[in-house]
Amino acid sequence: MSVAELKARHVAATETVNSLRERLQQKRLLLLDTDVVAVAGYAKAHGKSSVSFGATDLVCCRTLQGHTGKVYSLDWTPEKNRIVSASQDGRLIVWNALTSQKTHAIKLPCAWVMTCAFSPTGQFVACGGLDSVCSIFNLNSPSDKDGNLPESKMLSGHKGYVSSCQYVPDEDTHLITSSGDHTCVLWDITTGLRTSVFGGEFQSGHTADVLSVSINGSNSRMFVSGSCDSTARLWDTRVASRAVRTFHGHEGDVNTVKFFPDGNRFGTGSDDGTCRLFDIRTGHQLQEYYQQHSDDEVRHVTSIAFSISGRLLFAGYSNGDCYVWDTLLAQCIAGKIWPLFLKGNGKCTHMPFWLF
């Protein structure tokens, strides 16, 4: 077949894909049998009352000082008593969340760190960034002669920056990374090798940088990824050749994804200023969370987190604001709660503390 014929086939295939996507979207719209605002419409119709916070209901109980640069990422241990944070100052700091004590300050080989994660046992921390490598540190290993904690493993293989990483629940030996090379990778940390590559040049997957991953806490074989191609994708770790489902709707980069506590839904945050709730089994977009501002400036959503019940959605924005959304009624119930508290990408996460 000649190149000209191939190009013609390319054009025809692209048109077919677009047409099929359009048909799929039309069919999905027919399945949205609730009010346009989906979850909010259902919840209101069933008498759910709104949440309101008093002045003392959401207060800052800890300020962890120590980093000298923007904090780009943080993660909790499963026991919710320690935090690891990664900063532009080139350090990972491990904090005792109850006492605010620092237990480790790890100097990184590459200061351009973008993500960090705690292992399920709390013994290891992982981080990655512009060096395209995911580094693993054993918190129990002795420091070297310079007082630095050495890397216990380096996971090399990505051809672009590592944007996000998360350990597979209950497994200190496997983690998933997302990357600027358009792929996600499941790693076997023991061997340092890639077990599976999701997407990539010749596989069906994201078509732009992947910025975030979230593993399903109820079924660790499933994870979602968010990308600069404006989509989120659901993956099954047993099938790397294609995504289980692709979620369209956002009109900008999907910067952050997070599973809803029930494991059947997930939230996204995007450069289009919206957070959305999707259902993984049906692919429906169940709710959109967006607030118009008087200055019409679109604030990119940089990170999100759900509370334990899923009733509250915390969203951090590019201007440093953090809003709290009622997920059922799609109302913003607290805004700008920590405008100065959150640094860098304004990351806020689920807090195990009861605030008083």
Question: Which one of 59, 204, 221, 336 is in contact with other proteins (CB under 8 A)?
Answer: 204
How far apart are CB 166 and other proteins at their closest, in Å?
19
Rule CB under 8 A: choose which of 49, 59, 112, 193 binds other proteins.
Answer: 112
- Give the DSSP letter of residue 68: S
Which residues ranging from 149 to 178 are in contact with other proteins (CB under 8 A)?
A: 159-161, 163
Q: Would the CA dihedral through 160, 161, 164, 165 be positive or negative?
A: positive
CB atoms < 10 A from the CB of 135, how many? 25
Report the nearest approach of other proteins to the CB of residue 269 (Å): 14
Q: How far is the CB of 291 from other proteins (least distance, A)?
A: 20
Cα–Cα distance between 227 and 233 in angstroms, integer? Answer: 9
Q: How far apart (Å, rounded) are the C-alpha atoms in residues 285 and 268?
A: 11
Residue 77 to residue 82: CA distance in whole angstroms: 6
Task: Using the CB atoms, write b or e for 239-248: b if 16+ within 10 Å.
Answer: ebeebebbbb
Q: Is 320 in the site for other proteins (CB under 8 A)?
A: no
Of the two residues 105 and 332, which places its CB atom closer to other proteins in the complex?
105
Per-residue DSSP letters for 273-297? S-EEEEETTT--EEEEE----TT-P
Q: Per CB under 8 A, does 51 bind other proteins? A: yes
Q: Does position 33 bind other proteins by CB under 8 A?
A: yes
Distance (Å, rounded) from C-alpha 243 to C-alpha 260? Answer: 19
Nearest to other proteins of 4, 292 (CB atom): 4
Token pair 């989906």 in the structure block, residue: 38
238 contributes a contact to other proteins by CB under 8 A = no
Token pair recorded at residue 348:
């806020």
Q: Which is nearer to other proteins, 173 or 263 (CB)?
A: 263
Structure tokens at 27: 């069919």
Exactly one of 75, 131, 272, 288 binds other proteins (CB under 8 A); that residue is 131
Most distant CA pair in the chain, distance: 71
Site for other proteins in 61-100 (CB under 8 A): 65-70, 81, 88-91, 93, 96, 98-100
Contacting other proteins (CB under 8 A), which of 283, 290, 291, 321?
Answer: 283
* Residues between 328 and 347 that touch other proteins (CB under 8 A): 328
Residue 318 sits in the site that holds other proteins (CB under 8 A): yes
In the complex, the smallest distance separating the C-beta of residue 125 from other proteins, rounded to whole angstroms, is 14
